[in-house]
A and B are shown apart, each in its own frame.
Chain A
């Protein structure tokens, strides 16, 4: 099993450009998440999904959109990139919390995004 994979691994954007980050998981997890990690700020939740076709806002959703058209994929979009969105982005997935001990989130390797 590949676990959680993220595409691309690195990207440099100019201000105002758009892009989509792709997350894929092969563990049949219902829940998927997008985080950003910045120095001194830790991991902050951007958006999450509790199932195919559903999405919800996290702690820092502004400037981002998401879609979950297939259970195994979770896409994060930046419509008009800003320098403040320079960060490392992590995708994660998990089972629903009612399925026994299932609070473990499995993380991908991250995407390093720089916006100039």
Chain B
């Protein structure tokens, strides 16, 4: 079993829809949770991060962490065609001093105009 599970999609939605992207994990030692966005043929870039449980909002994006369920989510409101990308969740693994991230496999999102 992988430490981090993520549905690979693809997920196709119409412009303006609310998108929900999710990851589950098995290691209760994870404390930092991140979402990276990767456009086609580009490197990933950090979109949002949260520490421990709770919600964090940034514009149209909301990141949610439920440590009791070992479940994290990224919500995108009023989705735009420019949001079409692969979204990777990432979590900071044990051995935090070495800053090793554990990534999900990524979910491919397509927002149709």
A42-B104 contact given A97-B96, A103-B92, A107-B44, CB 8 Å threshold: yes
Q: Mask for A41-53, Cβ within 8 A of B = 1, else 0?
A: 1111100101000
Decide: B44 and A31 in contact? CB cutoff 8 A. no
Closest to B98 in A: A50
Which residues of B10-33 have CB atoms within 8 Å of chain A's CB atoms? 32
Q: B110 interface residue, CB < 8 Å from A?
A: no
Residues of B within 8 A of A58 (CB): 100
Q: A109 interface residue, CB < 8 Å from B?
A: yes
Decide: B42 and A109 in contact? CB cutoff 8 A. yes
Cα A14 to Cα B88 with chains together (Å): 32
Main secondary structure, interface of B, reads mixed
Decide: B43 and A110 in contact? CB cutoff 8 A. yes
A97-B43 contact given A40-B8, A43-B88, A103-B49, CB 8 Å threshold: no
Cα A108 to Cα B104 with chains together (Å): 19
Q: Mask for A80-116, Cβ within 8 A of B = 1, else 0?
A: 0000000000101010111001111111111000000
* Min CB gap B21→A, angstroms: 14
Decide: A42 and B105 in contact? CB cutoff 8 A. yes
Which residues of A12-53 have CB atoms within 8 Å of chain B's CB atoms? 31, 40-45, 48, 50
Pull 17 A–B residue pairs with CB atoms less than 8 Å apart, ordered by A.
A4-B43, A42-B4, A42-B103, A43-B44, A45-B101, A90-B43, A90-B44, A94-B99, A96-B99, A97-B96, A97-B98, A102-B99, A103-B92, A103-B101, A104-B34, A109-B43, A110-B42
Known: A43-B88, A103-B99. 15 other contacts (CB 8 A): A40-B8, A42-B6, A42-B106, A48-B98, A50-B98, A56-B98, A90-B43, A90-B44, A92-B43, A96-B99, A97-B96, A101-B49, A105-B101, A108-B43, A110-B42
A binding-site residues for B, Cβ under 8 Å? 4, 31, 40-45, 48, 50, 56, 58, 90, 92, 94, 96-98, 101-110
